[in-house]
Chain A
Protein backbone atom coordinates (compact mmCIF):
# COMPACT_ATOMS: atom_id res chain seq x y z
CA UNK A 1 0.00 0.00 0.00
CA UNK A 2 1.63 3.23 -1.09
CA UNK A 3 1.52 6.46 0.86
CA UNK A 4 -0.42 8.06 -2.00
CA UNK A 5 -3.57 6.27 -0.91
CA UNK A 6 -3.55 7.84 2.53
CA UNK A 7 -3.53 11.65 2.47
CA UNK A 8 -2.31 11.69 6.09
CA UNK A 9 0.81 9.80 5.00
CA UNK A 10 1.78 12.17 2.19
CA UNK A 11 4.74 14.35 3.22
CA UNK A 12 3.87 18.05 2.93
CA UNK A 13 5.54 21.24 4.10
CA UNK A 14 3.31 24.00 5.51
CA UNK A 15 2.62 26.77 2.99
CA UNK A 16 3.33 30.31 4.13
CA UNK A 17 -0.17 31.77 3.88
CA UNK A 18 0.25 34.30 6.66
CA UNK A 19 3.34 35.95 5.14
CA UNK A 20 6.07 35.67 7.79
CA UNK A 21 7.54 32.27 6.84
CA UNK A 22 7.60 31.06 10.43
CA UNK A 23 7.20 27.36 9.65
CA UNK A 24 10.17 27.16 7.32
CA UNK A 25 12.24 29.29 9.74
CA UNK A 26 11.60 26.77 12.51
CA UNK A 27 12.37 23.81 10.22
CA UNK A 28 15.62 25.46 9.08
CA UNK A 29 16.62 26.05 12.69
CA UNK A 30 16.02 22.38 13.52
CA UNK A 31 18.13 21.24 10.55
CA UNK A 32 20.91 23.53 11.80
CA UNK A 33 20.59 22.10 15.32
CA UNK A 34 21.21 18.64 13.87
CA UNK A 35 24.60 19.83 12.66
CA UNK A 36 25.69 21.07 16.06
CA UNK A 37 24.05 18.77 18.59
CA UNK A 38 24.39 15.14 19.65
CA UNK A 39 21.04 14.43 21.23
CA UNK A 40 20.26 11.18 22.99
CA UNK A 41 16.55 11.91 22.79
CA UNK A 42 14.66 13.63 19.98
CA UNK A 43 11.15 14.96 20.62
CA UNK A 44 9.20 15.64 17.43
CA UNK A 45 5.59 16.59 16.73
CA UNK A 46 3.11 19.40 17.03
CA UNK A 47 2.44 22.08 19.70
CA UNK A 48 2.05 19.41 22.40
CA UNK A 49 5.78 18.74 21.93
CA UNK A 50 6.73 22.35 21.23
CA UNK A 51 5.09 23.91 24.30
CA UNK A 52 6.72 21.38 26.62
CA UNK A 53 10.03 23.16 26.12
CA UNK A 54 8.61 26.42 27.48
CA UNK A 55 7.78 25.00 30.90
CA UNK A 56 10.12 24.22 33.82
CA UNK A 57 9.47 20.51 33.33
CA UNK A 58 11.70 20.54 30.24
CA UNK A 59 14.71 21.87 32.11
CA UNK A 60 14.01 19.58 35.06
CA UNK A 61 13.40 16.26 33.33
CA UNK A 62 14.30 16.31 29.64
CA UNK A 63 17.23 18.68 29.07
CA UNK A 64 19.38 16.53 31.38
CA UNK A 65 18.75 13.61 29.01
CA UNK A 66 20.35 15.62 26.15
CA UNK A 67 17.10 16.14 24.35
CA UNK A 68 16.20 18.22 21.31
CA UNK A 69 12.71 19.57 20.73
CA UNK A 70 11.49 19.68 17.12
CA UNK A 71 7.85 20.50 17.78
CA UNK A 72 5.93 22.93 15.55
CA UNK A 73 2.46 24.12 16.53
CA UNK A 74 -0.28 23.18 14.07
CA UNK A 75 1.66 20.37 12.44
CA UNK A 76 -0.19 17.37 11.02
CA UNK A 77 1.32 13.94 10.28
CA UNK A 78 2.01 15.16 6.72
CA UNK A 79 4.13 18.04 7.99
CA UNK A 80 6.15 15.97 10.48
CA UNK A 81 6.72 13.31 7.81
CA UNK A 82 8.05 15.97 5.43
CA UNK A 83 10.35 17.36 8.13
CA UNK A 84 11.92 14.01 9.04
CA UNK A 85 12.47 13.32 5.35
CA UNK A 86 14.01 16.73 4.72
CA UNK A 87 16.88 17.17 7.11
CA UNK A 88 15.65 16.93 10.67
CA UNK A 89 17.33 13.55 11.16
CA UNK A 90 20.63 14.41 9.47
CA UNK A 91 23.83 13.79 11.44
CA UNK A 92 22.11 12.77 14.64
CA UNK A 93 21.91 9.35 16.29
CA UNK A 94 19.39 9.68 19.11
CA UNK A 95 18.82 6.63 21.26
CA UNK A 96 15.12 7.45 21.53
CA UNK A 97 12.64 9.41 19.44
CA UNK A 98 9.45 10.64 21.10
CA UNK A 99 6.72 11.21 18.49
CA UNK A 100 3.51 13.11 19.28
CA UNK A 101 1.33 14.19 16.36
CA UNK A 102 -2.13 13.60 14.92
CA UNK A 103 -4.51 15.85 16.84
CA UNK A 104 -4.35 18.54 14.12
CA UNK A 105 -5.26 16.20 11.24
CA UNK A 106 -8.73 17.72 10.87
CA UNK A 107 -9.24 16.69 7.24
CA UNK A 108 -8.51 13.03 7.90
CA UNK A 109 -10.35 10.07 9.39
CA UNK A 110 -9.03 8.25 12.46
CA UNK A 111 -7.81 5.42 10.24
CA UNK A 112 -5.93 7.85 8.02
CA UNK A 113 -4.39 9.62 11.01
CA UNK A 114 -3.17 6.31 12.47
CA UNK A 115 -1.73 5.46 9.05
CA UNK A 116 0.06 8.82 8.99
CA UNK A 117 1.61 8.27 12.41
CA UNK A 118 2.65 4.76 11.31
CA UNK A 119 4.31 6.19 8.17
CA UNK A 120 6.43 8.46 10.37
CA UNK A 121 7.25 5.64 12.81
CA UNK A 122 8.24 3.35 9.94
CA UNK A 123 10.45 6.03 8.42
CA UNK A 124 12.14 6.65 11.78
CA UNK A 125 12.67 2.91 12.28
CA UNK A 126 14.35 2.63 8.87
CA UNK A 127 16.50 5.76 9.16
CA UNK A 128 17.47 5.17 12.79
CA UNK A 129 17.57 1.38 13.11
CA UNK A 130 19.21 1.50 16.53
CA UNK A 131 16.76 3.99 18.04
CA UNK A 132 13.74 3.19 20.16
CA UNK A 133 10.57 5.04 19.24
CA UNK A 134 7.98 6.13 21.77
CA UNK A 135 4.68 7.12 20.17
CA UNK A 136 2.48 9.12 22.51
CA UNK A 137 -1.26 8.63 22.34
CA UNK A 138 -3.41 11.59 21.33
CA UNK A 139 -4.90 13.34 24.33
CA UNK A 140 -8.64 13.92 24.71
CA UNK A 141 -9.67 17.48 23.89
CA UNK A 142 -12.61 19.80 24.47
CA UNK A 143 -14.20 20.51 27.83
CA UNK A 144 -16.87 17.80 27.51
CA UNK A 145 -17.27 14.62 25.41
CA UNK A 146 -17.33 15.46 21.70
CA UNK A 147 -16.55 13.84 18.33
CA UNK A 148 -12.84 14.76 18.45
CA UNK A 149 -12.41 12.81 21.67
CA UNK A 150 -13.88 9.76 19.99
CA UNK A 151 -11.68 10.28 16.94
CA UNK A 152 -8.50 10.62 19.00
CA UNK A 153 -9.41 7.56 21.07
CA UNK A 154 -9.94 5.56 17.86
CA UNK A 155 -6.53 6.70 16.56
CA UNK A 156 -4.97 5.52 19.83
CA UNK A 157 -6.67 2.16 19.71
CA UNK A 158 -5.50 1.61 16.11
CA UNK A 159 -1.94 2.69 16.93
CA UNK A 160 -1.84 0.39 19.92
CA UNK A 161 -2.16 -2.63 17.61
CA UNK A 162 -0.42 -1.28 14.49
CA UNK A 163 2.75 -0.38 16.40
CA UNK A 164 3.26 -4.03 17.31
CA UNK A 165 4.53 -4.33 13.73
CA UNK A 166 7.52 -2.13 14.59
CA UNK A 167 9.61 -3.97 17.19
CA UNK A 168 11.58 -0.91 18.28
CA UNK A 169 8.43 1.17 18.83
CA UNK A 170 6.29 1.49 21.94
CA UNK A 171 2.94 3.17 22.46
CA UNK A 172 2.34 5.27 25.58
CA UNK A 173 -1.14 6.55 26.33
CA UNK A 174 -1.66 8.77 29.35
CA UNK A 175 -5.11 10.12 28.39
CA UNK A 176 -6.99 8.50 31.24
CA UNK A 177 -5.29 10.71 33.82
CA UNK A 178 -6.78 13.83 32.30
CA UNK A 179 -10.52 13.12 32.13
CA UNK A 180 -12.66 13.31 35.27
CA UNK A 181 -15.36 10.78 36.08
CA UNK A 182 -17.99 13.23 34.81
CA UNK A 183 -16.27 13.34 31.43
CA UNK A 184 -14.94 16.86 31.80
CA UNK A 185 -11.37 18.00 31.36
CA UNK A 186 -10.04 20.43 33.90
CA UNK A 187 -8.83 23.86 32.88
CA UNK A 188 -6.06 23.28 35.45
CA UNK A 189 -4.63 20.63 33.10
CA UNK A 190 -5.51 22.09 29.69
CA UNK A 191 -5.78 25.87 29.63
CA UNK A 192 -7.85 25.86 26.43
CA UNK A 193 -9.05 22.25 26.58
CA UNK A 194 -6.32 21.25 24.11
CA UNK A 195 -2.94 22.57 25.25
CA UNK A 196 -1.43 21.49 28.55
CA UNK A 197 -0.69 23.74 31.49
CA UNK A 198 2.40 23.27 33.63
CA UNK A 199 0.38 20.88 35.87
CA UNK A 200 -0.94 19.05 32.84
CA UNK A 201 2.58 18.45 31.56
CA UNK A 202 3.60 17.10 34.97
CA UNK A 203 0.87 14.47 34.70
CA UNK A 204 2.12 13.17 31.35
CA UNK A 205 5.84 13.76 31.98
CA UNK A 206 6.10 11.27 34.84
CA UNK A 207 5.24 8.09 32.88
CA UNK A 208 7.13 9.38 29.83
CA UNK A 209 10.23 10.16 31.87
CA UNK A 210 10.08 6.78 33.60
CA UNK A 211 9.94 5.04 30.23
CA UNK A 212 12.77 7.16 28.81
CA UNK A 213 15.04 6.44 31.77
CA UNK A 214 14.30 2.76 31.48
CA UNK A 215 15.16 2.72 27.76
CA UNK A 216 18.28 4.85 28.19
CA UNK A 217 19.57 2.57 30.92
CA UNK A 218 19.15 -0.43 28.65
CA UNK A 219 21.01 1.13 25.72
CA UNK A 220 24.72 0.33 25.69
CA UNK A 221 27.27 3.11 25.14
CA UNK A 222 29.47 1.23 22.71
CA UNK A 223 27.78 2.86 19.70
CA UNK A 224 29.71 6.06 20.37
CA UNK A 225 33.05 4.30 20.05
CA UNK A 226 32.02 2.98 16.64
CA UNK A 227 31.22 6.42 15.18
CA UNK A 228 33.85 7.49 12.66
Chain B
Protein backbone atom coordinates (compact mmCIF):
# COMPACT_ATOMS: atom_id res chain seq x y z
CA UNK B 1 0.00 0.00 0.00
CA UNK B 2 1.66 3.19 -1.16
CA UNK B 3 1.58 6.53 0.60
CA UNK B 4 -0.40 8.01 -2.31
CA UNK B 5 -3.47 5.97 -1.39
CA UNK B 6 -3.71 7.83 1.88
CA UNK B 7 -3.50 11.24 0.22
CA UNK B 8 -6.71 12.26 -1.59
CA UNK B 9 -4.81 15.06 -3.33
CA UNK B 10 -2.50 12.46 -4.89
CA UNK B 11 -5.16 9.91 -5.86
CA UNK B 12 -6.08 10.23 -9.56
CA UNK B 13 -9.76 11.18 -9.63
CA UNK B 14 -11.84 12.27 -12.61
CA UNK B 15 -14.45 15.00 -12.09
CA UNK B 16 -17.90 13.49 -11.88
CA UNK B 17 -20.56 15.06 -14.10
CA UNK B 18 -22.71 16.45 -11.29
CA UNK B 19 -24.13 19.32 -13.32
CA UNK B 20 -25.28 17.17 -16.24
CA UNK B 21 -23.57 18.60 -19.32
CA UNK B 22 -20.42 16.48 -19.41
CA UNK B 23 -18.15 19.48 -19.84
CA UNK B 24 -15.16 18.21 -17.90
CA UNK B 25 -14.94 15.02 -19.93
CA UNK B 26 -15.49 17.00 -23.18
CA UNK B 27 -12.49 19.17 -22.29
CA UNK B 28 -10.34 16.13 -21.37
CA UNK B 29 -11.20 14.31 -24.61
CA UNK B 30 -10.40 17.43 -26.60
CA UNK B 31 -6.98 17.69 -24.92
CA UNK B 32 -6.24 14.02 -25.66
CA UNK B 33 -7.12 14.52 -29.33
CA UNK B 34 -5.13 17.80 -29.50
CA UNK B 35 -2.13 15.70 -28.55
CA UNK B 36 -2.64 13.46 -31.57
CA UNK B 37 -2.64 16.30 -34.09
CA UNK B 38 -0.13 18.77 -32.72
CA UNK B 39 3.54 18.91 -31.79
CA UNK B 40 3.80 21.32 -28.89
CA UNK B 41 7.11 22.39 -27.42
CA UNK B 42 5.37 23.62 -24.26
CA UNK B 43 2.24 22.27 -22.58
CA UNK B 44 0.49 24.26 -19.86
CA UNK B 45 -1.47 22.08 -17.43
CA UNK B 46 -3.63 23.08 -14.49
CA UNK B 47 -6.76 24.84 -13.33
CA UNK B 48 -8.62 28.03 -14.34
CA UNK B 49 -5.52 30.17 -13.91
CA UNK B 50 -3.98 28.20 -16.81
CA UNK B 51 -7.27 27.94 -18.73
CA UNK B 52 -8.09 31.64 -18.65
CA UNK B 53 -4.58 32.56 -19.82
CA UNK B 54 -5.59 31.15 -23.18
CA UNK B 55 -8.49 33.56 -23.52
CA UNK B 56 -6.56 36.81 -23.42
CA UNK B 57 -4.19 38.50 -25.85
CA UNK B 58 -1.21 37.50 -23.71
CA UNK B 59 -1.45 33.92 -24.96
CA UNK B 60 -1.14 34.78 -28.63
CA UNK B 61 1.48 37.40 -27.79
CA UNK B 62 3.82 35.33 -25.61
CA UNK B 63 3.02 31.61 -25.71
CA UNK B 64 1.64 30.74 -29.16
CA UNK B 65 5.01 31.67 -30.70
CA UNK B 66 6.62 29.01 -28.47
CA UNK B 67 4.24 26.34 -29.89
CA UNK B 68 2.19 25.85 -26.77
CA UNK B 69 -0.92 23.89 -25.84
CA UNK B 70 -3.23 24.80 -22.98
CA UNK B 71 -4.70 21.94 -20.92
CA UNK B 72 -6.29 24.00 -18.17
CA UNK B 73 -9.70 23.18 -16.67
CA UNK B 74 -11.39 25.55 -14.23
CA UNK B 75 -12.02 24.08 -10.80
CA UNK B 76 -9.45 21.31 -11.12
CA UNK B 77 -7.55 20.25 -8.04
CA UNK B 78 -4.34 18.17 -8.07
CA UNK B 79 -6.17 14.81 -8.12
CA UNK B 80 -8.10 15.82 -11.26
CA UNK B 81 -5.00 16.94 -13.15
CA UNK B 82 -3.29 13.73 -12.04
CA UNK B 83 -6.11 11.64 -13.51
CA UNK B 84 -6.03 13.58 -16.79
CA UNK B 85 -2.31 13.06 -17.24
CA UNK B 86 -2.58 9.35 -16.43
CA UNK B 87 -5.41 9.04 -18.93
CA UNK B 88 -4.08 10.26 -22.23
CA UNK B 89 -3.23 13.95 -22.13
CA UNK B 90 0.51 13.30 -22.30
CA UNK B 91 0.31 10.52 -24.85
CA UNK B 92 1.52 11.17 -28.41
CA UNK B 93 3.37 14.40 -27.57
CA UNK B 94 6.96 15.20 -26.65
CA UNK B 95 7.11 18.77 -25.37
CA UNK B 96 10.34 20.10 -23.90
CA UNK B 97 8.60 21.92 -21.06
CA UNK B 98 5.45 21.28 -19.02
CA UNK B 99 4.18 24.28 -17.05
CA UNK B 100 2.13 23.06 -14.07
CA UNK B 101 -0.14 25.38 -12.10
CA UNK B 102 -2.58 23.66 -9.74
CA UNK B 103 -3.37 23.39 -6.04
CA UNK B 104 -5.43 26.45 -5.16
CA UNK B 105 -8.70 24.49 -5.59
CA UNK B 106 -7.69 21.67 -3.21
CA UNK B 107 -10.24 22.67 -0.57
CA UNK B 108 -10.24 20.47 2.50
CA UNK B 109 -6.69 19.25 1.89
CA UNK B 110 -3.71 20.19 4.04
CA UNK B 111 -0.66 21.96 2.61
CA UNK B 112 1.26 18.69 2.93
CA UNK B 113 -1.40 16.80 1.00
CA UNK B 114 -1.49 19.43 -1.73
CA UNK B 115 2.31 19.30 -2.01
CA UNK B 116 2.03 15.51 -2.27
CA UNK B 117 -0.50 15.92 -5.06
CA UNK B 118 1.75 18.28 -6.98
CA UNK B 119 4.74 15.96 -6.54
CA UNK B 120 2.65 13.01 -7.77
CA UNK B 121 1.91 14.99 -10.94
CA UNK B 122 5.63 15.81 -11.37
CA UNK B 123 6.31 12.06 -11.07
CA UNK B 124 3.75 11.00 -13.67
CA UNK B 125 5.12 13.60 -16.10
CA UNK B 126 8.64 12.23 -15.55
CA UNK B 127 7.42 8.68 -16.18
CA UNK B 128 5.57 9.56 -19.37
CA UNK B 129 7.93 12.22 -20.71
CA UNK B 130 11.44 11.51 -19.42
CA UNK B 131 12.94 14.21 -21.68
CA UNK B 132 10.68 17.01 -20.48
CA UNK B 133 11.33 19.60 -17.80
CA UNK B 134 8.42 20.39 -15.47
CA UNK B 135 8.15 23.98 -14.31
CA UNK B 136 5.90 24.19 -11.25
CA UNK B 137 4.42 27.63 -10.64
CA UNK B 138 3.87 28.86 -7.11
CA UNK B 139 0.28 29.31 -5.95
CA UNK B 140 -0.80 32.94 -5.86
CA UNK B 141 -2.24 34.63 -2.80
CA UNK B 142 -6.04 34.97 -2.92
CA UNK B 143 -8.85 36.82 -1.18
CA UNK B 144 -9.04 40.58 -0.79
CA UNK B 145 -7.45 40.61 2.69
CA UNK B 146 -5.20 38.16 4.62
CA UNK B 147 -6.95 34.84 5.25
CA UNK B 148 -6.14 31.14 5.93
CA UNK B 149 -6.00 30.25 2.22
CA UNK B 150 -3.12 32.67 1.69
CA UNK B 151 -1.23 30.92 4.47
CA UNK B 152 -2.08 27.51 3.07
CA UNK B 153 -0.91 28.48 -0.43
CA UNK B 154 2.32 30.00 0.93
CA UNK B 155 3.03 26.79 2.86
CA UNK B 156 2.35 24.66 -0.22
CA UNK B 157 4.84 26.80 -2.15
CA UNK B 158 7.49 26.38 0.56
CA UNK B 159 7.05 22.60 0.68
CA UNK B 160 7.00 22.20 -3.11
CA UNK B 161 10.05 24.38 -3.58
CA UNK B 162 11.97 22.21 -1.08
CA UNK B 163 10.80 18.95 -2.64
CA UNK B 164 11.76 20.09 -6.14
CA UNK B 165 15.17 21.45 -5.20
CA UNK B 166 16.79 18.01 -5.43
CA UNK B 167 15.28 17.08 -8.81
CA UNK B 168 17.12 17.78 -12.08
CA UNK B 169 14.00 17.38 -14.24
CA UNK B 170 11.72 19.85 -12.45
CA UNK B 171 11.91 23.29 -10.90
CA UNK B 172 9.80 25.82 -9.01
CA UNK B 173 9.01 29.35 -10.16
CA UNK B 174 7.40 32.01 -7.99
CA UNK B 175 5.27 34.07 -10.38
CA UNK B 176 3.78 36.44 -7.81
CA UNK B 177 4.97 39.91 -8.86
CA UNK B 178 3.83 41.29 -5.49
CA UNK B 179 0.04 41.26 -5.77
CA UNK B 180 -0.37 41.83 -2.03
CA UNK B 181 -0.15 45.56 -1.31
CA UNK B 182 1.33 47.16 1.81
CA UNK B 183 -2.07 47.15 3.54
CA UNK B 184 -2.43 43.41 2.93
CA UNK B 185 -5.05 43.83 0.20
CA UNK B 186 -5.14 42.48 -3.33
CA UNK B 187 -6.52 44.82 -5.96
CA UNK B 188 -9.45 43.88 -8.17
CA UNK B 189 -7.45 45.47 -11.00
CA UNK B 190 -5.12 42.46 -10.72
CA UNK B 191 -7.64 39.79 -9.65
CA UNK B 192 -11.21 40.70 -10.58
CA UNK B 193 -12.68 38.35 -7.96
CA UNK B 194 -9.58 38.15 -5.73
CA UNK B 195 -8.66 34.78 -7.28
CA UNK B 196 -8.74 35.00 -11.08
CA UNK B 197 -6.34 37.28 -12.92
CA UNK B 198 -7.36 40.22 -15.07
CA UNK B 199 -5.45 40.76 -18.34
CA UNK B 200 -3.28 43.23 -16.35
CA UNK B 201 -2.63 40.58 -13.70
CA UNK B 202 -1.69 38.08 -16.40
CA UNK B 203 0.72 40.55 -17.98
CA UNK B 204 2.61 40.84 -14.68
CA UNK B 205 2.75 37.05 -14.22
CA UNK B 206 3.39 36.00 -17.80
CA UNK B 207 6.23 38.27 -18.83
CA UNK B 208 8.75 36.74 -16.38
CA UNK B 209 7.22 33.30 -16.95
CA UNK B 210 7.77 33.68 -20.68
CA UNK B 211 11.43 34.62 -20.17
CA UNK B 212 11.94 31.63 -17.92
CA UNK B 213 10.33 29.20 -20.36
CA UNK B 214 12.46 30.57 -23.21
CA UNK B 215 15.62 29.94 -21.20
CA UNK B 216 14.46 26.35 -20.50
CA UNK B 217 13.77 25.80 -24.19
CA UNK B 218 17.24 27.07 -25.10
CA UNK B 219 18.97 24.59 -22.79
CA UNK B 220 20.13 21.30 -24.35
CA UNK B 221 18.40 18.21 -22.89
CA UNK B 222 20.33 17.05 -19.83
CA UNK B 223 18.83 13.61 -19.22
Whether A and B are associated in the same complex: the answer reads: yes
A53's nearest neighbour on chain B, judged by CB, is: B192
Task: Select B143's contact among A17, A25, A147, A191, beta carbons within 8 Å.
Answer: A25
Q: Is the CB of A18 within 8 A of B22?
A: no
Binds B, one of A82-90, A174-182, A192-200: A192-200
B142 CB contacts on chain A under 8 angstroms: 20, 22
* B195: interface (CB < 8 Å): yes
Q: Is the CB of A142 within 8 A of B144?
A: no
B27 CB contacts on chain A under 8 angstroms: 192-193
Q: Is the CB of A191 within 8 A of B55?
A: yes
* A127: interface (CB < 8 Å): no
Q: How far is the CA of A147 from the CA of B21 in the complex (A)?
A: 7
Interface of B is mostly: loop
Task: Select B21's contact among A18, A26, A148, beta carbons within 8 Å.
Answer: A148
Q: Is the CB of B20 within 8 A of A26?
A: no
B55 CB contacts on chain A under 8 angstroms: 55, 191, 197-198
Among A18, A20, A147, chain B packs the most CB atoms within 10 A around the CB of A20
Q: How far is the CA of A125 from the CA of B150 in the complex (A)?
A: 41
Among B20, B27, B142, B149, chain A packs the most CB atoms within 10 A around the CB of B20
Q: What's the minimum C-beta distance from A160 to chain B, rounded to whole angstroms? A: 22
* B174: interface (CB < 8 Å): no
0/1 string, A45-65, CB within 8 A of B gives 1: 000001001110000000000
Q: Is the CB of A25 within 8 A of B21?
A: no
A193-226 with Cβ < 8 A to chain B? 193-195, 197-198
* A187: interface (CB < 8 Å): yes
Q: How far is the CA of A187 from the CA of B21 in the complex (A)?
A: 15
Q: Is the CB of B21 within 8 A of A193?
A: yes
B196 CB contacts on chain A under 8 angstroms: 73
Interface size on A, residues (CB 8 A): 32
Q: How far is the CA of A48 from the CA of B203 in the complex (A)?
A: 23
Q: How far is the CA of A18 from the CA of B22 in the complex (A)?
A: 25
Given contacts A20-B143, A22-B143, A192-B51, contact A73 B20 (CB under 8 A): no
Q: How far is the CA of A55 from the CA of B21 in the complex (A)?
A: 25
Q: How far is the CA of A31 from the CA of B94 in the complex (A)?
A: 50
Task: Select A73's contact among B54, B148, B193, beta carbons within 8 Å.
Answer: B193
Q: Is the CB of B23 within 8 A of A193?
A: yes
Given contacts A73-B193, A192-B51, A193-B26, contact A141 B143 (CB under 8 A): no
* B219: interface (CB < 8 Å): no
Among B19, B107, B196, chain A packs the most CB atoms within 10 A around the CB of B19
* B198: interface (CB < 8 Å): yes
* A143: interface (CB < 8 Å): yes
A151's nearest neighbour on chain B, judged by CB, is: B20
0/1 string, A129-171, CB within 8 A of B gives 1: 0000000000001111011110000000000000000000000
A141 CB contacts on chain B under 8 angstroms: 21, 23
* A72: interface (CB < 8 Å): yes
Q: Is the CB of A148 within 8 A of B149?
A: no
A28's nearest neighbour on chain B, judged by CB, is: B144
A21 CB contacts on chain B under 8 angstroms: 143-145, 147
Q: Is the CB of B20 within 8 A of A146?
A: yes
Apart from A25-B144, A144-B26, A147-B21: 5 A-B pairs, beta carbons within 8 A: A22-B144, A22-B193, A26-B193, A148-B20, A192-B23
In the complex, the 10 A-B pairs of residues with the closest C-beta atoms, listed nearest first? A20-B143, A142-B21, A25-B144, A143-B26, A148-B21, A20-B147, A20-B149, A146-B21, A22-B194, A193-B23
Q: Residues on B close to A: CB < 8 A?
A: 18-23, 26-27, 30, 51, 54-56, 73-74, 107, 142-145, 147-150, 188, 192-196, 198-199
Q: Can you list 13 A-B contacts (CB < 8 A)?
A: A18-B107, A20-B150, A21-B144, A22-B142, A25-B143, A29-B188, A54-B56, A55-B56, A73-B196, A141-B21, A141-B23, A143-B23, A197-B55
